[in-house]
Structure 1
Amino acid sequence: MHRTVEYSRVLARPLLTAARGFCTSPSKSGGEKIVASVLFERLPVVIPKIDPIVYAFQEFSFRWQQQYRKEYPDTFLQKSNARGQGDHHIEYTPAPRITEADKTNDKKSLQRALDRRLYLLLYGSSYDSNGTPVWHFPEKVYDSEPTLRKCAESALESVVGDLSKTYFVGNAPMGHTVIQPAENDKVDAPSKRFFFKSQLIATSKLKLGKCEDYLWVTKDELLEYFPQHAEYLNKMIIS
């Protein structure tokens, strides 16, 4: 009975018709800027070489199993070896793992480090460089996009021109850092940089724009360009 009375009182209350407002403009949040950066990667093209320790274990495991294998009669083995003798012999030469781009260390080519992941770096003015050209990831300051991922897509689209050959991994960022303003910078509030992962698919050639220069680098090479954030990037990027 008491529950019925309380429920009727709740229904008697006037409904709230005004929708709750959400602030999406960075300028209204105390001057704090939000930057969306894209970690754009090319996946490995060939299978990486097996680690010597793993190879040694597989060799030991194979030899250990051989002592328990079933012995087949010679007549059965002779019939098995005779199969396929009438087939045409096709000579197959696998493509080399070391390409011309590897030999010349051409970091503008996607045809290098085929067994590693490559990451795109751009050279030009960055948000936190005060107009000085630096190496950075594709980025954009969050303004009026409906989501932060849409802001990241816009940042990458401004560089590659078309997102049909790209794939964004998830809707959430893979990490973030806080950018402290420089001593001579008039901006007092720090900014936040959110990293999104995107992958290059279905192509080995890509025309880039809106940058002074660009490079495709491995993880080890990438860390050399960001020594102050090397420890964080090494933990964030799994390759």
Structure 2
Amino acid sequence: MQRRCTTPLMKSLRRFSSNSSTDKLVASVLFERLPIVVPKIDPVVYAFQEFSFRWKQQYRREYPDEFYKKYEARGKGDYKIDYKPASRITEADKTNDKRSLERALDRRLYLLLHGTTYGSPDGKPVWHFPEKVYENEETLRKCAESALQSVLGDLSNTYFVGNAPMGHMNVQPTEKADPLKRFFFKSQVIAAKNYNISGCDDFVWVTKDELLEYFPEQAEFLKQMIIS
């Protein structure tokens, strides 16, 4: 006779997956662009490196003058290389174009959409992440992929980090909306400078600090969940 597992953990999992629950499950996607250039060194770290270099100079090995003459003569020829590093400040930075991925190159950027979504107060457009209510997808990860695909149209230049959500939030019920559980999945921009974003009134690419300003009520939760 086959026995069923009746541990507290399995009971809680069955209750979570039961269709009798009134909580809606929503898969949200934290779609990020990683830094393109190396972030600037913190002034404290720079000061320490400068001190360390000067300290080591006191004990550096002394070489004869002949060595330096040979070193300076290396690589000399008729050729000349003109190298000018690209500016860290782009045109999108100067104009504060938040619809462009070519801004804040030393920071992570996150995609936010403006439009109606599940749980919007009175059905009004709000800023939100790409998201979708879980229906009959095989997994919540598949639901998250569907949410991002509905915005981008194609997932070729994206990469989902892991199969499990990076965090979740319980949203309390209101007079016009049922309670819901919002699960966040991370996806990243891969080899793309622009996306044809649709299905929304507007969109922005924002840094973590800017993102928190869009969600003042959930700022503390997002601040802990998003590591950048």
Q: TM-score, normalised by structure 1?
A: 0.86
Task: Name the CA distance, whole Å, in 1 between partners of 2:177 and 2:56.
Answer: 70
Q: Could you tell me how far 1:216 is from its partner in structure 2?
A: 0.6
Task: Name the CA distance, whole Å, in 2 between partners of 1:216 and 1:225.
Answer: 12
Amino acid at match of 1:161: G
Deviation readout 1:116-144 (Å, 9 max, x if unpaired): 11100000001111421000000001111
Q: 176, 181, 193: which one pairs with 2:182?
A: 193
Look up the SS of the partner of 1:150 in the other structure. Answer: helix
Question: Would you say the 8 A contact 2:158–2:190 is kept in 1?
Answer: yes
Unmatched runs of 5 consecutive residues or more in structure 1: 1-12, 17-21
1:151-170 equivalent positions in 2, closer than 5 A:
151-170=143-162
Q: Could you tell me how far 1:232 is from its partner in structure 2?
A: 0.7
Q: TM-score, normalised by structure 2?
A: 0.91
2:6 equivalent in structure 1: none
Task: Name the CA distance, whole Å, in 2 between partners of 1:86 and 1:230.
Answer: 59
1:191-230 equivalent positions in 2, closer than 5 A:
191-230=180-219
Amino acid at match of 2:216: P
Task: Name the CA distance, whole Å, in 1 between partners of 2:49 and 2:78.
Answer: 32
Find the structure with the greater CA-based Rg: 1
1:30 equivalent in structure 2: 21
Q: Could you tell me how far 1:173 is from its partner in structure 2?
A: 0.6
Q: How many residues end up aligned between the 2 structures? A: 218
Look up the SS of the partner of 1:60 in the other structure. Answer: helix
Task: Name the CA distance, whole Å, in 2 between partners of 1:158 and 1:26.
Answer: 26
Amino acid at match of 1:233: L
Q: Indicate whether 1:140 and 2:132 are aligned.
A: yes
Q: Indicate whether 1:82 and 2:73 are aligned.
A: yes
Deviation readout 1:13-56 (Å, 9 max, x if unpaired): 5x68xxxxx98x97823222100000001111111111100000
2:8 equivalent in structure 1: none
Cα-Cα RMSD: 1.9
1:5 equivalent in structure 2: none
1:47 equivalent in structure 2: 38
